[in-house]
């Protein structure tokens, strides 16, 4: 993010203090009460993907937009609270049976050019918050395990699943030395058709990953 955008965001916070996207409470973008009442997502088409919230809900959609494009990075902490509980709940049986198991936790990467334009990867912010909560050291993060090697056009501009899959073909490259034999958890903000996560999973499995699950904020 360039210096002018940073200054603009700070001035905006001073002139127009942040308010909860749900109840309009000052000083916070998403309060605990509104977070607790967000509707759950419907099941995704991909059995390996778990989503928390319904993206069609206006509060969810507005919060995601602010997080992804509005430089409201603090939402990573709000989202990670719910997401961490969901992940640990899903893994509880497996962790009970298999002691000392660890998982490689990876965000869906942005292309370097898009990362520079935006100034941050929102999915990586969530991963960083999840790692902070991981007192049992179940999760590991390697920033070079999965890379985006092709700059694809934004998925929102590809209307059909087939077009999205073609748009993403070969977009990701996994580091075999890091992912081989690992159980991997992919983290992203939103899943629609699932094309992005499916292509990332394909790259990881092709490089020897033992298993790949994905968790997202909204669907």
What is the secondary structure of 154-209 as a DSSP string? PGGG--SHHHHHHHHTT-EEE-HHHHTT-EEEEEEEE-SSSHHHHHHHHHHHHTT-
**pLDDT of the residue at 162:** 63
Residues 199/169, Cβ–Cβ less than 8 Å: yes
Q: What pLDDT does residue 219 have? A: 96
Element (H, E) at 86: helix 75-97
| Residue 192, token pair as written in the block | 């629609």
Mean pLDDT of 106-133: 93
Class of domain 38-218: alpha beta
Distance CA 45, CA 198 (A): 11
- Distance (Å, whole) CA 58 – CA 30: 13
Query: What's the pLDDT at 136?
Result: 87
Give pLDDT tens digits for 124-180.
999 999 999 998 889 999 999 999 988 776 655 545 656 666 667 788 999 999 999
Query: What percent of the chain is modeled with pLDDT above 90?
Result: 61
pLDDT at position 117: 86
Instruction: Summarize pLDDT for 193-212 with one digit per residue, the tens.
Output: 898 999 999 999 999 999 99
Alpha-carbon gap, residue 217 to 3, rounded angstroms = 29
The distance from CA 23 to its chain's CA centroid, rounded to whole angstroms, is 25
User: Is a pLDDT exceeding 60 seen at residue 10?
Assistant: no
Tens of pLDDT, residue by residue over 20-78, are: 989 988 888 899 999 999 999 999 989 999 999 999 999 999 999 999 988 889 899 99
Token reading at 157: 């501009």
Residue 6 confidence (pLDDT): 52
- Please state the rounded mean pLDDT for residues 102-130: 93
Residue in the block written with tokens 């890091």: 178
Question: Which candidate, 162, 139, 150, 145, places its Cα nearest to that of 215?
Answer: 139
Q: Which pLDDT belongs to residue 15? A: 38
Helix axes 75-97, 58-69, angle to 10 degrees: 100
**Between 183 and 117, whose confidence is greater?**
183
What was the pLDDT predicted at 12?
47
Report how far residue 92's alpha carbon sits from residue 112's, in angstroms, rounded to the nearest whole number: 35
Residue 1 has pLDDT above 60, yes or no: no
Measured between alpha carbons, how far is 39 from 61 in angstroms, rounded to an integer?
12
Q: What mean pLDDT is predicted for residues 86-107?
A: 83
Residue 126's Cβ-count burial label (10 Å; 0-12, 13-18, 19+) is buried
pLDDT value at residue 206? 97
Domain ranges of the chain: 38-218
């Amino acid at each position: 993010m360039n210096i002018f955008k940073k200054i603009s965001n700070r001035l905006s916070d001073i002139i127009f203090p942040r308010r909860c996207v749900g109840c309009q409470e000052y000083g916070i973008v998403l309060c605990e009460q509104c977070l607790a009442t967000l509707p759950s997502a419907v099941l995704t088409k991909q059995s390996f993907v778990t989503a928390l919230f319904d993206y069609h809900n206006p509060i969810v959609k507005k919060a995601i937009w602010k997080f992804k494009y509005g430089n409201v990075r603090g939402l990573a902490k709000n989202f990670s609270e719910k997401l961490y509980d969901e992940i640990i709940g899903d893994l509880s049986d497996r962790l009970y049976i298999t002691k000392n198991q660890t998982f490689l936790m990876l965000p869906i990467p942005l292309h370097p050019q898009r990362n520079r334009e935006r100034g941050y990867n929102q999915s990586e912010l969530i991963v960083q918050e999840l790692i902070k909560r991981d007192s049992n050291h179940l999760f590991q993060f390697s920033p070079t395990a999965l890379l985006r090697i092709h700059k694809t056009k934004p998925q929102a501009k590809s209307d059909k699943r087939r077009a999205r899959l073609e748009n993403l073909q070969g977009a990701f490259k996994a580091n075999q030395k890091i992912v081989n034999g690992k159980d991997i958890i992919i983290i992203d903000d939103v899943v629609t058709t699932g094309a992005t996560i499916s292509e990332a999973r394909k790259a990881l499995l092709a490089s020897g990953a033992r298993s790949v699950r994905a968790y997202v904020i909204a669907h």
